[in-house]
Structure 1
């Protein structure tokens, strides 16, 4: 069975292909409400909007178009999951691909969401540069392999400090926080201790999810224990629903944590001891020589 995250990506691919939520729902044999729900869950995980609106004929946002292009490239190596994404053809470029310098930028999708406007500005100012996204890199070991093999030029990744054997520079930190429904007993406490966390039932992302892996590693490094998971899912709509019902708590960082904190019926726990922060780091491949477009882009993203 496909995981929740793959189902959501497949719906995104199908909705890009059809250009209409109702047609997508008909083709997949599900309701329009289910399409909208899964799309909203995916956008919450990514941290940015994919479409300007969900009703009528759909228009991709600039970030949505980049994501569709990245997923189309991914499908070339994984036809089973993205065999016919039929994403919109890229807009005509002022120069042919042979005449343009290609930069492959790898970043977790939520990180891409943070500097999507900067990328667009860099491309607009450098018409001889074409930036391709790789949204499959999340952790240090994945970034190291992709850079070593020459598959990417710049890699952003999640880490718990400087990674061994991977020279990188610190970008920013994203605090891990815990969230629960407003009426959860711990949400009503002025201070939640480590002892409270030790038996706390948890909602968690699926085990292969890189966000789950980095959260687990961060908590383990600090010796922080929580209770067993009562649910493991990448479907954020399910997480929100169960949080509001008071069945457990959920750990998150970055844009996902930001969006959870804004939702009605959900509250960030007042922890006595802060949870670890996850670092976002940037590494550059050896083929990106000083003065190249790749190094210029890497520096520009730090401005």
Structure 2
């Protein structure tokens, strides 16, 4: 017995005629008759009483009809619920944001999720990108925004954009008036970077190795502390423009371009394929991609979008 046979039986009982039921079901009448014969043989009872005007359910057939209707109705309800959840994802989704991006992206992302996906409970985790990558692999995150992330199994990613790194100095620092400095010359001043194996330090060290530069820099994994060091003039910080927008707006820091070469990194929206809520994770990733694209297009976030990734590209 299968759902198709239940559907056929219910239609025959309601039509009272094999030929009318066959028309509704768009099936050949001999095939429909054979399906009902197989069903009756399997159950060992006569479900339909044949007569000159058509067919009517037997006493047992009427009981079977009532059960079959309830089963088919329940199947339809389940289908509707699944379709509804696919169109309107719900549940908890954990999303990881790098420390350098969380302050600027956190509020717009939460606001956009409240507007477009109100049924999803968002759990935002802020950490250095190396930790976020590990959290994603360990199944502690569903979605993350990562810089130059490692290519592991069980994740899908959409590369969103390329972001240049800049040197941040106190307003009274000599470089503040110059507006730019060469990659080699910036190490003449004390530099603070996140500690290894942070992606920021890896990027700077790779650029240094290619350009025969010794990248001497103190290590600090706290963005607020890095900000305090830069504001005090004790060190210069390397970060994307987006990381210290508030400090620059208050006149506490100045962003200086790094030239010859200009270090940069790629940002990707990464989705775990092990998520317990794949629909919700995909929805969050898509909203995040759109929020980032809008911020870049309006100039709030200084970066270069991948041309084909501008809007709602996360699958």
Could you state the TM-score of these two structures normalised by the residue count of structure 1? 0.51
Q: Look up the match of 1:281.
A: 268
CA contact (8 A) 2:94 2:143 kept: yes
CA contact (8 A) 2:92 2:277 kept: no
Q: CA RMSD in A?
A: 3.6
CA contact (8 A) 1:154 1:283 kept: yes
Q: Which runs of 5+ in 1 are unaligned?
A: 1-99
Q: Look up the match of 2:285.
A: 298
Q: Look up the match of 1:89.
A: none
CA contact (8 A) 1:202 1:227 kept: no
Instruction: Give the structure with the higher percent helix.
Output: 2
Q: Which one of the candidate residues 216, 239, 244 is aligned to 2:229?
A: 239
CA contact (8 A) 1:192 1:270 kept: yes
How far apart are residue 184 of structure 1 and its match? 3.8
CA contact (8 A) 2:96 2:141 kept: yes
How far apart are residue 175 of structure 1 and its match? 1.9
* Separation in 1, partners of 2:91, 2:117: 10
Q: Does 1:179 align with 2:168?
A: yes
Q: May I ask how many residue pairs the two structures share in their alignment?
A: 194
CA contact (8 A) 1:203 1:232 kept: no
Go from structure 1 to structure 2 and tell me whether the alpha carbon gap of 1:197 and 1:136 turns closer, same or farther (over 3 Å shift). Answer: closer
Give the number of the structure whose alpha-carbon radius of gyration is greater: 2
**SS in structure 2 opposite 1:207?**
coil
Q: Which runs of 5+ in 2 are unaligned?
A: 1-89, 291-315
**SS in structure 1 opposite 2:162?**
strand
Go from structure 1 to structure 2 and tell me whether the alpha carbon gap of 1:196 and 1:108 turns closer, same or farther (over 3 Å shift). Answer: closer
Deviations 1:57-89 (A, max 9, x none): xxxxxxxxxxxxxxxxxxxxxxxxxxxxxxxxx
Go from structure 1 to structure 2 and tell me whether the alpha carbon gap of 1:260 and 1:276 turns closer, same or farther (over 3 Å shift). Answer: farther
Go from structure 1 to structure 2 and tell me whether the alpha carbon gap of 1:294 and 1:181 turns closer, same or farther (over 3 Å shift). Answer: closer
* Separation in 2, partners of 1:229, 1:128: 45
* Separation in 1, partners of 2:132, 2:228: 29
Q: Which one of the candidate residues 137, 141, 151 is aligned to 2:140?
A: 151
Q: Which one of the candidate residues 197, 201, 204 is aligned to 2:189?
A: 201
* Separation in 2, partners of 1:137, 1:194: 23
